[in-house]
Chain A
Amino acid sequence: MSSHSSVAAHDAAHDPNLKHHFENADQQKESASIGMWVFLLTELMFFGGLFLAYFVYRQWYPEAFIAASNKTDVLVGAINTTVLICSSLTMALAVHYASKGRRELLVLFLIATLLLGGIFLGVKGYEYHDKWVHHEIPGEHFECHGCADEVHTQLFFSLYFGMTGLHASHMIIGFGVLLVLIWQAWKGQFSAKWYTPIEMFGLYWHFVDIVWIFLFPLLYLIDRVGRPLL
């Protein structure tokens, strides 16, 4: 009988966000965090394969990679990197204010993150359009005047579009998830005691930022020595 009453007392004090198969909120939170990290590590290996392809071909065809990389616009790339880092900061602040239960500031910083992500995608779209206009998309209409090794210059652009495209698709998915989170945060579904979705999405968003931190120097900055940067 005593065990029955203690269960009843436990249920009365039960946190509605605590699932029954967890001992307590700490354990639940750590499980979510570790689950998210395991997912991000599969993403790391996913992107890792593309980075590996990049390193192998750069090792084999350095001249073609230099010629192709010099066709990218460093200023636009650096500005977009800055935009993405700003969005990481606003995301970190969103998690910060979620942990303090500040609903308005949480919503505000999630919207800021959404806008900065949108600017990044817009700039990326501008760059893709530029590549389209200049016939720098691999395939039948690819043109590279004065390229010694056109086939492997195309290979660089295949990797460029593959890697930035996969990165951008992650941004687009993040954009969609953010819309849902903003709606939920606005409706007050999160509190200082429970804001796990915000925190887990923060991990995802920072991971996407990290991928770009490597893409920027590898795609835009090969052998810029002696060339005007901007």
Chain B
Amino acid sequence: MQEHSEHHIVPKRVYALVFATLIALTWVTAWVATVDLGAFNIYVALSIATFKASIVVLFFMHVKYGTRLTKFIVCSGILWLMFLLFVTMGDIWTRSWMGVPGR
């Protein structure tokens, strides 16, 4: 079945809301970096960035209103990026556990 996503025009107030959220979170992320959360600072920063990126993808890039094929392709790309990052970092994080030479 053909999906008629392109006839969906996103209302301007959605753009305004996404924009306001992005601006607010930019300054929140700068402020929260000064709060001592120990090792969690980077996870908070990355969570905020991921949330910001998600709303850009969903609303500015119209993936929320896209076809299922588009959504599938976007998700598969993100999945491969996660393989790249987490498989390698899994190695880096756990290498010292075994006392393997070369970190």
Q: Which residues of A are in contact with B by a Cβ distance under 8 Å?
A: 26-27, 29-30, 33-34, 37-38, 40-41, 44-45, 48-49, 51-52, 55-56, 59-60, 74, 77-78, 81-82, 85-86, 88-89, 91-93, 96, 99-100, 202-203, 206-207, 209-210, 213-214, 216-218, 220-227, 229
Contacts and interface: CB of A to CB of B under 8 A. Distances in A.
Interface residues of B, number: 51
B56 A51 contact: no
Contacts of A100: 9
Given A30-B70, A226-B36, A217 B85 contact: no
A27 B2 contact: yes
Given A27-B2, A81-B26, A202-B61, A93 B15 contact: yes
Contacts of A45: 77, 80-81, 84
Contact of A96 (B12, B48, B67, B78): B12
A222 B33 CA distance: 7
B30 A78 contact: yes
B15 A92 contact: yes
Contact of B30 (A27, A29, A60, A221): A221
A217 B29 CA distance: 7
A214 B8 CA distance: 29
Nearest to B85: A52
A206 B63 CA distance: 12
